[in-house]
Amino acid sequence: MKLPTHGRFDYVPIDRRPDYSWPGGKRLAVYFGNNIEYFAFGAGMGPVSTLELPPPDQRNYAWRDYGNRVGLWRIFDMMDEFGAPMSHNTNSTALEYHPEILERINKRGDELIGHGRTNSERQSGMSEEDEKGLIEECTAMLKRLAGKAPRGWMGPWMAETYLTADLLKEAGYQYLLDWPCDDQPFWFRTRSGPILEIPYPLEVNDSPAMLARRHTAREFKEMVIDQFDEMLEQSRKQPLVCGIVLHSFIAGQPFRLRPLREAIKHILGHREDIWLTTPGEIATYCMSLPKGTIPGG
């Protein structure tokens, strides 16, 4: 029986790939990826904290809105205290409606990553024309507001069509974050040439961990620490990428923020052993390596 396949990249076991190191001879790249999302009121999709009510469901809308009103600013303050960079998967409408967020991102020097227009929609199921329009609209708005187009993309809900990678490459994107299947970057085939996939975790991600799988904030802290400690040890054999993913309406809640702070403090206690970076910097470095070093299509 022959099963359908994507044909986007080759299978190469991690222990059969070329070896390399990150800048400064480091073996583990660590980034903190934050999601900045904007939702329609009473319409479209959206995560829920408890029971979903009939529209307008102001309770779940308000819970999500807490992230942009309060939680995000608490996360900014915490990361300022640690002197740690972040990347932000950003709905373009969030910056359109809340320009203060962009001011803080620019002040910190953080990286903006395309994340669609709004998480009230997802692009899976769209026609090629509609998806191309979505990508173009999001990219143009981020470029107009931030002064430059994003280099990376992570779709709302990590959703794709069969053509997403092709359309992203043709829109000028250099990397994407939608395929959580590896601990190393790899090249991804498109009809217009390769695009880089940067590891982005589904597991060490506050949304599926605490909303879907119902882990507590303290359990999430232990997950983050265990993930980091194990990957730091494994990175003696291969260069790895450890991403920690946050959503401000989840991790930004005070009772979750406190154990998260403890986990980040643990990670940054190893600052001399890691490359503290962003997905964009990882992509730039990978592109500078000799051809054939990074596996894939």
Mean pLDDT estimate for the chain: 97
Confidence of residue 297 (pLDDT cuts 50, 70, 90): low
In the chain, the N- to C-terminal Cα span, in Å, equals 24
Q: How far apart are CA 88 and CA 184, in angstroms?
A: 20
Pairing type for strands 186-188 and 195-197 reads: antiparallel
Q: Check residue 220 and give its pLDDT.
A: 98
- For the stretch 112-130, pLDDT in tens is 999 999 999 999 999 999 9
Question: At residue 55, what are phi and psi to the nearest 5 degrees?
Answer: -55, 140
CA 7 to chain centre: 23
- For the stretch 137-150, pLDDT in tens is 999 999 999 999 99
How far CA 69 is from CA of 29, 38, 52, 175, 252, in Å, comes to 31, 11, 21, 30, 10
Q: Check residue 94 and give its pLDDT.
A: 97
Confidence of residue 50 (pLDDT cuts 50, 70, 90): confident
Q: Where are the domains of the chain?
A: 19-41+55-288
For 62, residues 6+ apart whose C-beta sits below 8 A from its C-beta are none
Q: How far apart are CA 275 and CA 26, in angstroms?
A: 6
Question: At residue 155, what are phi and psi to the nearest 5 degrees?
Answer: -65, 150
The CATH number of 19-41+55-288 is 3.20.20.370
For 200, residues 6+ apart whose C-beta sits below 8 A from its C-beta are 33, 154, 158, 177, 178, 179, 180, 243, 245, 279
- For the stretch 178-202, pLDDT in tens is 999 999 999 999 999 999 999 999 9
In one-letter notation, the amino acid at residue 176 is: L
In DSSP terms, 246 is beta-bridged to 34
- For the stretch 264-278, pLDDT in tens is 999 999 999 999 999
Mean pLDDT of 210-229: 97
